[in-house]
């Protein structure tokens, strides 16, 4: 199945977490057999804070700092991941794309300009995903079939984007979140991998879990802001329910020293919070759980389970 197992280490990864030991009094670490996918939104720090593409040239480029940290972490555990890559990044740093491809990672589209889909027209979106697909395919010589939109910004306002993706040759999308926030989300989105009846596109939505009466996502700011056990507990719960999980992260989250600039207060708090925790938490994650690419995870899941076909109307919340 091509799924990498974690390296065995002596002792539990929680053995030093004394402040949370009471939560694990009956917990015994074990290998998770369910295949999950590890995904990276391949973008630089200033692209994650909604700065217009016309101004990107004026900010310090630091893409390689976080990039090599996460790539080396993955290599040390022999884990293959999916890197949803901005077309702009692939164009400026083709050598990094080649390195990912040579290492066996999957390349996917993350659009070209990192604009929210619901701020675009259908034609603008089509041009971006078509352009990005061509850039990456020309670098690697391999077909690009996976996509994630910036900020999970395919919402009920722009479901037309799912048809456009299918028309442009994508077969798997990871742009929809069942957790609704001020930025994104579709509250009626199923919490599972499913096929969209109208266009045959497979949707792998953001993986969620419930804790303390609320829903949380597996990855991103949640992974840093809360103690590691939040994410681990969510992954274990989903594994028992036979639900593969999609973990997501960004290279800039491994670069705690990247510049601080002022922007929307709520977004600023989540962007900069506890960045120094990302590397250590990722080490724990890769030691405890099994990960693969998006395409392999979907393929393996489909071999063992029937992927439901669901009409797109369910996403109209």
pLDDT score of 63 more than 60: yes
What is the model's pLDDT at position 26?
36
Report the 3 state secondary structure along the chain: CCCECCCCCCCCCCCCCHHHHHHHCCCCCCCCCCCEEEEEEECCHHHHHCCCHHHHHHCCCCHHHHHHHHHHHHHHCCCCCEEEECHHHHHHCHHHHHHHHHCCCEEEECCCCCCCHHHCCHHHHHHHHHHHHHHHHHHHCCCCCEECCHHHCCCHHHCHHHHHHHHCCCCEECCCCCCCCCCCCCCCCCCCCEEECCCCCEECCCCEEEECCEEEECEHHHHHHCCHHHHHHHHHHHHHCCCCCEEEECHHHHCCCCCCCCCCHHHHHHHHCCCCHHHHHHHHHHHHCCEECHHHHHHHHHHHCCCEEECHHHHCC
pLDDT in tens, 18-30: 333 333 333 333 3
Mean pLDDT across the stretch 273-285?
97
What is the residue-averaged pLDDT of the chain?
90
Band (pLDDT 50/70/90 cuts) for residue 34 is low
pLDDT in tens, 89-143: 999 999 999 999 999 999 999 999 999 999 999 999 999 999 999 999 999 999 9
What is the model's pLDDT at position 100?
98
What is the model's pLDDT at position 244?
95
What is the model's pLDDT at position 129?
98
pLDDT in tens, 235-278: 999 999 999 999 999 999 999 999 999 988 888 888 999 999 99
Percentage of the residues of the chain whose pLDDT score is greater than 90: 83
pLDDT in tens, 195-230: 999 999 999 999 999 888 899 999 999 999 999 999
Please name each of the domains of the chain with its CATH number: 30-315 (3.20.20.370)
């Amino acid at each position: 199945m091509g799924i990498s197992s974690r390296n065995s280490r002596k002792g539990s990864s929680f053995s030093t977490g004394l402040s949370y030991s009471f939560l694990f009094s009956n917990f015994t670490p074990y290998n998770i057999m369910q295949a999950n996918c590890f995904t990276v939104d391949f973008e630089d720090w200033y692209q994650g804070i909604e700065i217009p593409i016309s101004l990107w040239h004026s900010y310090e480029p630091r893409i390689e700092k976080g990039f090599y940290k996460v790539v080396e972490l993955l290599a040390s555990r022999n884990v293959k991941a999916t890197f949803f890559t901005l077309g702009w990044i692939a164009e400026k740093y083709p050598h990094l794309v080649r390195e990912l491809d040579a290492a066996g990672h999957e390349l996917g589209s993350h659009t070209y300009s990192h604009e929210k889909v619901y701020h675009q027209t259908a034609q603008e979106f089509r041009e971006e995903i078509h352009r990005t697909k061509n850039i990456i395919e020309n670098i690697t010589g391999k077909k690009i079939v996976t996509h994630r939109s910036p900020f999970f910004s395919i919402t009920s306002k722009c479901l037309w984007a799912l048809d456009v993706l299918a028309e442009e040759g994508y077969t798997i999308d990871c742009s929809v979140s069942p957790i609704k926030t001020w930025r994104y989300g579709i509250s009626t989105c199923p919490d599972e991998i499913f096929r969209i009846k109208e266009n045959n596109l497979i949707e792998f939505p953001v993986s969620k879990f419930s804790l303390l009466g609320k829903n949380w996502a597996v990855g991103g700011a949640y992974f840093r802001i809360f103690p590691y056990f939040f994410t681990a507990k969510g992954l274990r719960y989903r594994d028992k329910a036979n639900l593969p999980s999609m973990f997501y992260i960004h290279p800039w989250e491994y670069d705690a020293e990247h510049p601080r600039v002022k922007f929307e207060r709520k977004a600023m708090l989540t962007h900069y919070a506890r960045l120094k925790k990302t590397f250590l938490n990722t080490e724990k994650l890769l030691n405890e759980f099994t990960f693969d690419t998006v395409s392999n995870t979907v393929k393996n899941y489909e071999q063992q389970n029937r992927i439901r076909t669901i009409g797109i109307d369910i996403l109209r919340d």
